[in-house]
Amino acid sequence: MRPSLPHFHCPYLQPQAFQLAFTREGQSLSLRAEALPDASVTGTLPLQTEVRVIDRQQLDEVLPNGATRPVFWYYVSGTDANGATVEGWVNQRSLFIENRRTSETARVTGGEAVREWTFDHLNRMLADFRFGTAVSTTLLLMVLIVPAQFVLAIIMALVLQSQIRGSGLFLYIYAIPLGISDLVAGILWFAIFTQRGFLNSLLVSAEIIELPFIFIQADHMAWMIAIIVLAEIWRATSIVMVIVVSGLQAIPRDYLEAGEVFGASLWQRLRHIILPLLKPSLQVALILRTILAFQVFAVVIAITGGDIMTVLSNETFRWYDPARFNNPSVAAVYAGFIMLISLAISLFYMRAVRSQEEAVKA
């Protein structure tokens, strides 16, 4: 039985998520030019840095109740994060020192919270051995799923638009996948193609094969991709169909009737009348389906478990999941990568699939 899909909250691409992806938080100790809390900073030292005590000064610190107590300030020298030697005054509270009056070495134990920009999380994503596989699999699924969905959606929309007998029944059949989630769709197709699933049971009972064929395994990547493509086409083609049907209803029937009068065939009317006037609707559907194709996740998890085959959304979850890598920063980089690719392809669609009015204005 396939394990249940856990609920997770993936980092959204808000400013906080970009900070999570490209910043690193920590603590560092600021060295002061004078033995004063508000003196100018001469340098910073990371926590646990070993320092050399050059000088020390005992001052009286005024407490909120007006009383005073002695406090030591130390003039120290150490190596910062860039390997440079820095010197300055620090308060005794930020150091571990064995003897406040005689020790010549100490260790940095406190400091101020700092946030610095870093590409460490991006480099970690690029160096991940599953990153290349996730990218190639996601792109392959997009190339296989999106064109097939558009061809089927246009055919389905034309059947409904023709108002032939039984077209209303076709609409209900086409709309069935809209009522289920992508996880349910994946589980359904897993139940069809698993070793003891419906398909193997049918083939064995019909004596077409003697033993069940194992479709879902590491050695049958082509079969698993084909199952995922079938599941996604069955699940989401109706979404494209709804958009195409709305676009077809906006086309004046006079144009189609004029094409029939002048003897245009169905293919000629489709090529020269319907498709050009459908460009705005196709543009919206292309952008929507491309973004959803890059976010395919539950179907892959339900069919393959997420370990045999992986996609970008699955890797985002793996890095975010506390039970696995528990690294929201790398997960945010993955999410940002998905967004950037989706944005680039969407801009390409908006440029390539334009109506004649948009092309003239450009």
What is the tens place of the pLDDT at every residue in 102-129?
A: 999 999 988 887 777 888 889 999 999 9
Distance in Å from the first CA to the final CA of the chain? 55
pLDDT for the residue 231: 92
Is it the case that residue 9 has pLDDT exceeding 60?
Answer: no
Distance from C-alpha of 275 to C-alpha of 254, rounded to nearest angstrom = 16
Instruction: List phi, psi (to 5°) of 58.
Output: -100, 125
Are the C-beta atoms of residues 92 and 100 closer than 8 Å to each other? yes
Helices 120-127, 328-352: inter-axial angle, 10-degree rounding: 80
Alpha helices in the chain (DSSP H): 15-22, 120-127, 131-162, 167-175, 182-193, 198-205, 221-249, 253-261, 266-269, 275-277, 279-294, 298-304, 312-320, 328-352, 356-361
Greatest C-alpha distance within the chain: 105
The pLDDT tens digits for 115-168 are 778 888 899 999 999 999 999 999 999 999 999 998 998 888 888 877 777 777
In terms of CATH architecture, what is 123-361? Orthogonal Bundle (1.10)
Q: What are phi and psi of 116, to 5 degrees?
A: -125, 150
- Classify domain 27-116 at the CATH topology level: SH3 type barrels. (2.30.30)
Residues 6+ apart with CB under 8 A from 126: none
Each domain of the chain, given as residue ranges in start order, spans 27-116, 123-361
Q: Residue 70: which region, alpha, beta or left (left: phi > 0; alpha: psi -120 to 50)? A: beta
Is pTM beyond 0.75? Reply is no
Q: What is the DSSP letter of 90?
A: E
